[in-house]
Amino acid sequence: MLALRRYLACVLTLSLLACGLPAVALALEKYGRPLPSMDDPNDTDRGSEESLFAGYLLTGAFAKNPSFAARPDNSGLVGLRHMIHLETDLYKQYLTFYTDQNFFSDRTNGWIELSEWDSTYAFTGVVDHFSWRLQYERDAPLDRRGIKQAYADGMITAKLQSAQDMAWWRKLFPNQSLTMYAGAGWLFHNSNYFARPDNTGRALFRYVAHADLDLYKNKVVLYGDVNFFTDRDGSNQAQPTEMDWIVGLALRWRDMELAVYHEQDQPLDKPGLTQKYLAVQMRFSFDVSKEDLGLSRMKSVTGSH
């Protein structure tokens, strides 16, 4: 476990320094999306509950967007983003199914009309400090014909939380929880999913690093995400060819979240297109656990006598 902690710390530090972010910043939800988890990091019992259905609704505006494209063929500029995430626990935390449906609009075409639809379907699970994922994603234009990108991948990540794993952190920062993970994935099927922002190459491996820093009672959260891709057509298939990073600040009230974040996707092995934007988004989360449903049924039965 000590070796695992050192490995994670090294990966996170190097990754965050590589994109110019402070090393204390930056995790992700269990299914591996670049958003901070809405769960309380100090609630150790929450992970053992089974969700009948859970997820969130999200809408956002790309307030500043000089280069982030609105379609897989890199045409247009994103104006709005709408997303729904749904998940259900099939067997405790060991097996979960989820889907993400992402929609984007083109600010150069009136902002409202949708221009791209990204759909994701996956199975994931958590075993102790490790998570696994099998995922299929398809990105397609909506308002015209054009390039479609699709892939299937597998990923394994290792996770650390200050509440359970870092006594030194709790001693130094008793009121600031830190959650982080790092791992790697393999795009074992790739139908046109590119290895760089300029749509060159085909992605093969993915390396990830994440962290959430709870600044105040899970109501103010600093978060980020770093993704590296490699090119299966390159001379060195393990060498990263693209780095995508996100850093954001989330403010929460009950099940609502307002976030401001910046993303930048850039090539690493050659000069080329860099895509970046600054966005503001609202998220509403929901979670109905099987335990909650059982208690409701029990109260209904006992109340009827």
Helices (H), the chain: 2-18, 162-165, 167-172, 290-303
Lowest mean pLDDT among 77-81, 276-280, 284-288: 284-288
Torsion angle, alpha carbons of 182, 97, 190, 78, to 10: -80
Can you give the pLDDT at residue 196? Answer: 97
Span 200-218, average pLDDT: 96
What's residue 17's pLDDT?
Answer: 40
Residue type, 118: D
- Under the banding of pLDDT at 50, 70 and 90, the label for residue 85 is very high
Q: What percent of the chain has pLDDT over 70?
A: 81
Question: In the prediction, which pLDDT does 52 show?
Answer: 85
Please give the average per-residue pLDDT across 14-26, as a whole number: 37
Report the largest interatomic distance among the alpha carbons of the chain, rounded to a whole angstrom. 73
List beta partners, residue 181.
159, 210
Average pLDDT over residues 208-237: 95
Q: Tell me the per-residue pLDDT of 38-81, one tens digit each, with 9 for 90 and over.
A: 777 666 555 556 778 899 999 999 999 999 999 999 999 999 99
Ranges 138-147, 242-251, 290-299: which has the least confidence: 290-299
pLDDT digits 0-9 by tens, 224-256: 999 999 999 999 999 999 999 999 999 999 999
For the chain, list the domains and their CATH numbers. 2-303 (2.40.160.40)
**158 vs 290, more confident:** 158
Those residues whose C-beta lies under 8 Å from the C-beta of residue 55, and which sit 6 or more positions away, are 84, 85, 86, 87, 98, 285, 286, 287
Q: Determine the average pLDDT of the residues in 86-106.
A: 94
- The answer to whether the beta carbons of residues 244 and 265 sit under 8 Å apart is yes
Show Cβ contacts of residue 68 under 8 Å, excluding neighbours closer than 6 positions: 62, 77, 78, 263, 265, 275, 276, 277
User: pTM of the full predicted structure?
Assistant: 0.83
What mean pLDDT is predicted for residues 192-200?
Answer: 96
pLDDT at residue 27 in the model: 26
Residue 157 to residue 164: CA distance in whole angstroms: 17
- Does the CA dihedral 150-153-158-164 come out positive or negative? positive
Rounded to 10 degrees, what is the CA torsion of 76, 82, 83, 84? -150
Reported as half-sphere exposure (CB side, CA atoms, 13 A), residue 170 has a value of: 10
pLDDT of 34 reads 65
Give the lowest-confidence range in 168-172, 204-208, 296-300. Answer: 296-300
Q: How far apart are CA 162 and CA 144, in angstroms?
A: 48
Cα(258)–Cα(249) distance, rounded to whole angstroms?
8
Look at residue 292 and tell me whether its pLDDT is greater than 80: no
Mean pLDDT for 83-99 is 94
